[in-house]
């Protein structure tokens, strides 16, 4: 993807987050990979309607140095860490969508309960542990560690904060972010009206076979 295309993609992701009510104000951020050495990260501190695609800086993955545009998001370390750790990831979407954020505050994992779990592709959407404040290297480290606990999964919840979704393309990563919010809402409703029935692992695998993916499972049962 060329830098212009990547900047437009980042801008579209931010615009969609606001339109879909996954964030308020200048919250939420995104990154899109240009190539193996550079990414575009969303500009920080301003609501998307005060930004243009050219405001989103190009960032060197090795050094973290930004060129062009405005200063990067305060979550630069988070985007750099995920992009460095997972070369197959083409885009990272971080929102504060309310139901998923609520589960992150309760620090409860989200189980495989419905068709939308196809997007996150994991047996569970795990919460980062320990808690780390926004914008810190500790949060970046906890996030990578959480995604690694369930290799192949495309989402996690940042404790007391909100969801993070990844994908090979911006479109996929964004859809996963929407699906995480959907799962959180559906699970909340199920808990309110009755018992949450988790789809058994064998049936999760059957769903994976039908839709062409392998269900990621936790490898370190701590």
Distance of CA 94 to the CA centre of its chain: 5
Question: Catalytic: 181?
Answer: no
Q: Of these residues, 75, 116, 123, 181, which one is catalytic? A: 75
Q: What is the largest CA-CA distance in the chain?
A: 52
Nearest to 41 by CA among 21, 25, 61: 61
Residues 6+ apart with CB under 8 A from 65: 59
Nearest to 129 by CA among 111, 141, 112: 141
Nearest to 40 by CA among 72, 86, 87, 85: 72
Task: Please tell me the distance from the alpha carbon of residue 109 to that of residue 220, in angstroms, as a whole number.
Answer: 15
Strands (E), the chain: 29-33, 38-41, 58-60, 66-67, 91-94, 110-111, 124-127, 155-158, 162-167
Task: Name 156's bridge partners.
Answer: 126, 164
Nearest to 42 by CA among 79, 5, 97: 79
Q: Which residues are catalytic?
A: 75
């Amino acid at each position: 993807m060329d830098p212009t295309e990547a900047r437009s993609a980042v801008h579209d992701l931010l615009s969609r987050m606001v339109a879909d009510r996954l964030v308020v104000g200048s919250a939420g951020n995104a990154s899109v990979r240009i190539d193996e050495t550079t990414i575009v990260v969303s500009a920080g501190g301003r609501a998307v309607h005060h930004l243009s695609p050219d405001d989103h800086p190009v960032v060197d993955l090795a050094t973290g140095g930004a060129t062009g545009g405005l200063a990067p998001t305060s979550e630069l370390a988070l985007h750099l860490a995920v992009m460095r750790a997972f070369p197959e990831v083409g885009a990272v979407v971080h929102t504060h969508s309310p139901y998923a954020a609520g589960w992150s505050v309760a620090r409860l994992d989200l189980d495989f309960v419905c068709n939308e779990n196809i997007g996150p592709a994991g047996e569970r959407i795990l919460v980062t542990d320990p808690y780390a404040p926004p914008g810190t290297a500790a949060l970046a480290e906890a996030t990578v560690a959480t995604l690694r606990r369930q290799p192949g999964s495309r989402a996690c919840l940042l404790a007391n904060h909100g969801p993070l979704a990844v994908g090979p393309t911006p479109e996929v990563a964004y859809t996963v972010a929407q699906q995480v919010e959907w799962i959180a809402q559906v699970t909340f409703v199920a808990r309110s009206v009755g018992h949450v029935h988790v789809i058994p692992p064998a049936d999760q695998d059957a769903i994976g076979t039908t839709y062409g993916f392998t269900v990621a499972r936790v490898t370190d049962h701590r």
